[in-house]
Each structure stands twice: as C-alpha cells, then as structure tokens.
Amino acid sequence: MQGNEACVDAAITAGCRFFGGYPITPSTEIAEGCAEKLPLVGGAFVQMEDEIGSISAIIGASVAGAKSMTATSGPGFSLMQENIGYAYMAEIPIVIVNVMRGGPSTGLPTRPSQSDVMQARWGTHGDYTAIAFAPSSVQEVYDLVINAFNCAETYHTPVVVLMDEMLGHMREKIIIPDEDDIDVKLRKFPKVPSGFLKPYEINPSMVSDFVPFGEGYRYNITGLTHDEFGFPTAKPDEINAKLNKLRKKIHLHRRNIILYEEQFVDDAEYIVVAFGSTARAAISAVRKARGEGMPVGFLKLKTLWPFPGYEIKKLASSVKGMLVPELNMGQVVREVDRYAMGKCSVCGHLRFDGRQIEPCEIFDRLVELIKN
C-alpha cells in the first residue's frame, strides 16, 4: 500500500467522515482516495477553492459532529495556520496531514523534506501547544493517523501528522488489524441538561465535554479568549485560566501522547536520534555500526510535539554523544541539544537538497563522531 493510500484507509477506520481539501503535490492522492472512499461509508468529500477554505470546512464539519481531516503540503500548510489557531482556541478536534516537500515557497514539490517541524509547533501566532506525529513507514502512517484522530477527539485540539514525499509515495506491505482490535476514541458527551452546560469547563483533566451543534445544546464558539461558557472575556483571571487550560490539557497527558522507540540503548555510548523517513536510513546505519562493534543506540521519535524532552535528557546523562540526521537545516537537532543540557555532545547531519540521507552518510558521521 502507498503511504498516502494508508492515510486514507486509516482515517476512515478511525471514523473520519468528512474531508475538505485542495490538491497539492505530494499529498494529492489522499484527497483522491477520500473522494473515492468516503461516500462509500456515508461520508463526504468537498474540494474547496483553496487551503484556507479547506481547513475552514473541516472545522465546521467537526462542530457539526463529523470527525474531519484535510491533507496538504508546505505552502498549503502555511495558509492554514490562522485557522489552526482558531481550532486550538475554540477546542475543535481536527486532523491535518502535511506531506512535507522542499521549500520555502514552491520549493521542490516532488522531493522529500522535513523542514515543517518548527512550523507545526510555532506556525500559528500566540502561545500554542501542538500535537504532531511523524511516521517513518507505511505501517506507521496507518497506525499514527488513527492515533492522531484519537488524540484530536480525546483532547479537542488540532493534531498534525508530518509525513514527507518519500513516505507518501512509497509502497510497503502493512498489517491492517481487525476493526475489533483497533482502539477508536469518541468525544465525551455531556451528562448535564442543556442549561447547565459549560462547553469549556475547567476540570482536573482540563478536557471538557464536546457536544455537536444540533444535539439540543446552545453554546458560543469564538476565537476570542473566552470564559467557560464560550463568551469573550477581558478578565485577567479568566484569560489566564483559559490559556493555561489549553496548555495543561496536553502536558498533563503527555505520557499518553508521546510515542518513541529505542533500540540498542542499554549499552550505547552514542545515540542516533531520528524521525520520519530519515529514521529508516538511521536504523540501517546503527545496525551496521553495531555489527562492527561500535556502541551505538537508536531513538526514533514518533511524536515530535510535545517534544520527548524528558527521554532525551535521560539518555544524554548516560552517553557521550548524540547524532541527529534530518532533512532540513537543523530543527530537531536544536531541540535535542536544548534538552541534553550539555551532558553530552550533540551534532546534526543535515541535507536540504531534495535528496534522502543515505545510511552510509550516517555511518561515516558516526565513525567521525566516535573518533573525535
């Protein structure tokens, strides 16, 4: 199955019933697949006039009760940023798949890149706490898209899946579990009468009940900072409470959100930290290094935001160095260095010329790192 095809099947399995999008290389197959398959399960596909209209449409569909998704690439992702902030403030669950390509601007439409990592974190203005996943195989595309819908529905927030061109267009065998074995999360429906509903209630979990329009409850939705009833407020205590809620509802549950894999770390003196399609080359290089007796381990990041900083900090205390290969000018390597806090050396191996990093490049960089 192609990575973009796996994204479509996973979304439908997770309960997605609305896709609003606009074609853009290299994500277009996701729109095509949704146009073909969503009507077969009672869903709807709408091609909008642009990416701003696309994310506006999925926000509206989500408020009306449908699990909703869009897919795009870098330039379209840029256009969506304002409404990502709106969905975050209004606590509306949506999923945005960004099949990354080289940039800035039109850049390299048919080449892979990993340069939208920081955009996924800081693209929308204001203080914003993001959830973003980065699959490294077609199997992980399937698994993490389902997980993205579960997080969106559980925490009532936008969730981003960062693929890249290579992953979107490559084909691999994958295992599709029986539907009974797949955990699909649903929104919490309120148990109080309509007159008592606080749609943005601040409670210990920081996650309020979400009720679709048309289900007998009246409430206000706004991008303005608002109180627990959804009405705009200028009171400092209510402003602080609202913005802290948005941050805390993700950080309180970070252990359930952050996903990563470790290999060969128990006796490692050096760690390769990688994500997305680059992780494929990284694990090949690590296995070659292990075969030649080098004490090298591997950490694959499946969740990029919230960043697995505690895990990095723990490993940094026990190794001499970390190597971070990535297809950009150095975005994740700086986060790794920040959390390593000087306890070990941290360096990157960076490419941004539209070509994948080869295992031999990472292996040679490891040899150089160990010698020095």
The 10s digit of each residue's pLDDT in 144-203 is: 999 999 999 999 999 999 999 999 999 999 999 998 899 999 887 888 887 788 999 999
Residue type, 105: S
Mean pLDDT of 201-212: 91
- pLDDT above 80: residue 280: yes
- pLDDT above 90: residue 45: yes
Q: Please tell me the distance from the alpha carbon of residue 164 to that of residue 27, in angstroms, as a whole number.
A: 9
- pLDDT above 80: residue 356: yes
What is the chain's mean pLDDT, rounded? 96
The 10s digit of each residue's pLDDT in 15-31 is: 999 999 999 999 999 99
Q: Please tell me the distance from the alpha carbon of residue 277 to that of residue 114, in angstroms, as a whole number.
A: 9
Instruction: For the full predicted model, state whether its pTM sits above 0.75.
Output: yes
Mean pLDDT of 312-320: 97
Distances (CA, A) of 45 to 8, 34, 158: 12, 6, 19
The 10s digit of each residue's pLDDT in 227-263 is: 999 999 999 999 999 999 999 999 999 999 999 999 9
Q: Is the dihedral of CA 285, 348, 4, 158 positive or negative?
A: positive
- The pLDDT assigned to 218 comes to 86
Mean pLDDT of 129-148: 98
Range of weakest confidence among 7-11, 12-16, 52-56, 175-179: 175-179
Helix intervals (H) in 158-277: 165-169, 236-251, 254-257
- Torsion on CA atoms 149, 217, 239, 244, rounded to nearest 10: -30
- The pLDDT assigned to 340 comes to 98
- Yes or no: say if 272 and 325 are a contact pair by the CB < 8 Å rule: yes
Buried/exposed 185-200: b ≥16 CB within 10 Å, e otherwise: bebeebeeeeeebbbb
- The pLDDT assigned to 353 comes to 96
- The pLDDT assigned to 191 comes to 81
Q: Please tell me the distance from the alpha carbon of residue 246 to that of residue 254, in angstroms, as a whole number.
A: 13
Mean pLDDT of 270-290: 98
- pLDDT above 80: residue 95: yes
Q: Please tell me the distance from the alpha carbon of residue 250 to that of residue 323, in angstroms, as a whole number.
A: 28
- pLDDT above 90: residue 108: yes
Query: How many C-beta atoms surround the C-beta of residue 308 within 10 A?
Result: 24
**Domains of the chain and any CATH numbers:** 3-181 (3.40.50.970), 262-371 (3.40.50.920)
Percentage of the chain modeled with pLDDT above 90: 93
- The pLDDT assigned to 361 comes to 97
- The pLDDT assigned to 327 comes to 98
- The pLDDT assigned to 189 comes to 80
- The pLDDT assigned to 121 comes to 97
Query: How many C-beta atoms surround the C-beta of residue 25 within 10 A?
Result: 15
